[in-house]
Amino acid sequence: MNMEPGELVTSAPLAARLNIPSGPLFFPVTAYGPDGSVDLDTYRAHVRRGVEAGAAAVFACCGTGEFHALTPEEFEACVRVAVEAAEGRVPVVAGAGYGTALAVRYARLAEAAGADGLLAMPPYLVVAGQEGLLRHYREVAAAASLPVVVYQRDNAVFTPETVVGLARTDGIIGLKDGLGDLDLMQRIISAVRTEAPGDFLYFNGLPTAEQTQLAYRALGVTLYSSAVFCFAPELALAFHQALRTGDDRTVEKLLDGFFRPFVELRTQGRGYAVALVKAGVRLRGLDVGEVRPPLHEPAGDHVKQLAELIEHGYALLEEAK
């Protein structure tokens, strides 16, 4: 299937659309107004800018979008706005999580709002066995007609055998890895390839995935989430393009000059994988508000360092021209 970036591909299956290597996967932040309520107009502008900048897909109300902080009503409204802003140019995948009953509810809300798929996040609180995890995700997949990508992280870590079970489940099309255990990922990929052959998708879902994407690419994992795309889409796109074309010089320059320093800054505070990204969006001129509790805002000095780092990142792009 040969499609140009930005072409309407609404009728194509989600897996095929995600496999079109047109740009990074965009995980927008959720915008709040001065009173702390969801600001749908600003959110619409944020999503539209990302789509116009070259995102390959929009993952709405997921980790970077503070899924944990949204009410069901806010969630549905944001997903609906994301779908409207995308205008069918790229798919919109919505988060779903908590216990099974609530995850099922969010799946149905996402379907009603027009989403193209779901990112199924870990269950709330409990550390479940493999049998229970498999049952949980199968119930989420059966709850709506939307294709499901399962997110491995925290208390949802799977054996290769369980992922084979997921891959054999109608409606589950992929696994997003936020754990970073490459040995486990290699065993998972091998097991699925052997025991459930087909077009099962894999995603690098670590924070600032660009930092680890060279390693994931060696496993054959080419899809990855990009939080940096929220506030510096040109940097994210340049890195994505360099990876695709084998431009190792640009990859190394951006890793050494921007992504590694950004990761080091991100580690200076808990929750900075979201809060620092949101600060970056504000620095680039779009007031998306602050993060909701229990997250907290970055320290002023860290925001200053981020501003300087963004400026340096764009200077690196100018040097490469």
Q: Which of 208, 216, 264, 271 is nearest to 236 (CA)?
A: 208
**Can you read off the two tokens belonging to residue 237?**
């796109």
Token pair 């995948």 is found at 93
Residue owning tokens 């091998």: 190
Q: Backbone phi, then psi, for 10, in 5-degree steps?
A: -60, -35
Which tokens sit at 228? 């940096």
Which positions are catalytic? 151, 176
DSSP 292-308: PTTS-PPPHHHHHHHHH
Side chain identity at residue 5, one-letter code:
P
What tokens were used for 279? 């600060």
CA angle, 231 then 21 then 279, to 5°: 10
Burial class from Cβ neighbours inside 10 Å (0-12, 13-18, 19+) for residue 11 reads exposed
Q: How far apart are the first and last CA of the chain?
A: 32
Q: How far apart are CA 49 and CA 244, in angstroms?
A: 23
Q: Which residues contact 312 (CB under 8 A, 6 or more apart)?
A: 257, 258
HSE at residue 235, side-chain half, CA atoms within 13 A, is 28
Please list the helix, strand and coil fractions of the chain in percent, rounded to the nearest 5, in that order. Answer: 50, 10, 35
Rounded CA-CA distance 138/130 in Å is 12
